[in-house]
Structure 1
Amino acid sequence: MITRTRHQASELALSLDRVGADTILVPMIEVVTPRSFEELDDAIRLLSGSEHTVDWVVFTSANAVQALSSRALELGATLRSRRIAVIGPATAKAVTAAELAPEIEPMLVPSEYVAESLAKALLAVSKTSQRFLLVRAEEARDVIPVTLEAAGHTVRIAAAYRNVTPPGTLPALREIFAEPGSYPHVITFTSSSTARNLVALLASINRKIPDGIALASIGPITSGTLRELGYEPSFEADEPTIDSLAIAIARHLKRS
């Protein structure tokens, strides 16, 4: 059972199809516009202006890149290149596709694809006070701004999108978890939001994740959230990427 957003699920589904797995798409999150465009529009004005008011643009997801790029296009703004830091290769790919990356300087990508590692990497290359523009989800963790501000840097946050639960998810869960014969063998979790939303939705119909279902986590942050919710991940991807998660699932299926 894939819990990613509908538009992002195809990559994982294709990878699992190749190893003979049947996939069920039950998205736990849907990416929608922020409650207010004020922060995002202010960010676009900063990035399209001629004055150098931002030293680094930091993206913590591909969704953040796409939201910024789409809004800039809607406003008719041309974004100027800045030094860019991203949380991982999928986000870097989105930056390249949106043509936001500067030609003369490579993007900063941390060795581990989590906020803690990205904040550490930014500190390592920022010896003097820097101005950061952090483009992220409304409900993101504050690890990056707290870490950078504690070191004397300035961080401006632009909420580019928010995650909500799709309206068709609850009826799908009722059907899937109605009886053991319809339970999935594996549930994938690609973010803390997917874990929290699934547990909350099941609780709303007096259900829990049944024993015996393998819980596949994309990385340590998501695994930590599952544990906070009372569930131990069955296995975790070696790297927090979709490709690595697919490999971990294939490995599990071969053993089972």
Structure 2
Amino acid sequence: MPLPGKRVLVTRATHQASLLGDALAARCLTVVAIPAIAMEPPSDEYASLHRELERLDEYDWLLFTSANAVEVFAREREELGIDEVSCRIASIGAATSRALRAAGLQVDLQPDTAISEALAAALQPRVRGRRVLLVQAESARDVLPRSLKSAGAELVIAPAYRTVTPQESVEALRREMPRLDAITFASSSSVRNLLELCQAAAVTLAPTIVLASIGPVTSQTLRECGYQPQVEAAVADVEVLASALARYLEAL
């Protein structure tokens, strides 16, 4: 594959970047890892999450919309010494389901498409009159909560983390931007945070840079910000994203 020397920016949080980076490197791409997102505790310092963990047996459904939320849930659950999870569990997609299984939790429902709209549609017939706990990022999209409430669910949201823009990435982005061939985006927040980094670093996305999105929601965010993705993964998975980008760059 004639791709050596093609430099691809990975914007995922540091603890996640290796999976996508490894997938890109396996396809002979040069990985430039500059996180556009860092995770910090939620504003309430886990108070809501801890409260709901203590009464987890009162819920019928437990929902996760990211692997990050699963990892925080598993860590805080262990810290509180809560062993049993008796409610059914729904996951937004394959990466989140892998994190759930790694935490020893069974996935009862996963939609075919890893977006909030698909998860909402799959859950709506199942949640009327049911108590539902949604563990997600602070300030996440409200599509899923609105849909579940309209379907008659008794919904509680417990923020597991918040995403922030890491200021230490500014200088790295300023240095690397002129040499990039492509940028990968694995979430809507990575789009917004990278654009904030660009503003702070006084750089712009050159029209020659290939923009690769992990799915339709992330692609839509790019469009709303004035950028057209050239690559979109057919499935929200880092291997699929890496393959799609490698094929596109090879064809140039």
TM-score class, shorter: over 0.9
Q: For the residues of structure 1 that align with 2:201 and 2:11, how far apart are their CA atoms?
A: 18
Q: How does 1:2-151 map to 2 (within 5 A)?
A: 2-36=10-44, 37-47=46-56, 52-101=57-106, 106-126=107-127, 128-151=128-151
Match of 2:205 in 1: 209
Comparing 198-207 with 222-231, greater Cα deviation is found at: 198-207
CA contact (8 A) 1:13 1:23 kept: yes
CA distance in 2, matches of 1:205, 1:80: 45
CA distance in 1, matches of 2:86, 2:14: 31
Distance in 1 (alpha carbons) for counterparts of 2:246 and 2:132 = 39
CA contact (8 A) 2:165 2:197 kept: no
Contact 1:2 1:24 in 2 (8 A): yes
Question: Are residue 247 (structure 1) and residue 237 (structure 2) matched?
Answer: no
Aligned to 2:232: 236
**Retained in 1: the 8 A contact 2:174–2:202?**
no
Cα pair distance change 1:69/1:172, threshold 3 Å: same
Please report how far the alpha carbon of residue 77 of structure 1 lies from its aligned counterpart in structure 2 after TM superposition.
Answer: 2.6
d(CA) in 1 for partners of 2:207, 2:112: 35
Question: What's the CA shift for 1:19?
Answer: 1.3
Deviations 1:73-102 (A, max 9, x none): 22233242310000011111111111122x
- Aligned AA (1:4): R
Give the match for residue 196 of structure 1: 192
Q: Which amino acid aligns with 1:118?
A: L
Question: Which segments of 5 or more consecutive residues in structure 2 lack a partner in the other structure?
Answer: 1-8
Give a deviation string over 1:161-189, Cα, whole Å, max 9, x none: 11112232111112123xx4xx2101000
Per-residue deviation at 1:6? 1.0
- Output the CA distance in 2 between the equivalents of 1:253 and 1:207: 23
Residue 145 (structure 1) shift: 0.9
Deviation at 1:124? 3.0
Q: How many residues align?
A: 243
> Aligned ranges for residues 156-235 of structure 1 at < 5 Å?
156-177=156-177, 180=178, 183-235=179-231
Secondary structure of the corresponding residue to residue 145 of structure 1: helix
CA apart distance, 1:44: 0.9
Please, what TM-score do these two structures have when normalized by structure 2? Answer: 0.92
| TM-score for the superposition, normalised by structure 1 | 0.91
Residue type at the aligned position of 1:65: V
Dislocated runs of 4+, deviation >3 Å: none
Give, in angstroms, the shift of residue 196 of structure 1: 0.4
**5+ residue gaps in structure 1?**
none
Q: Partner letter of residue 129 of structure 1?
A: G
Matched residues, percent identical?
A: 43
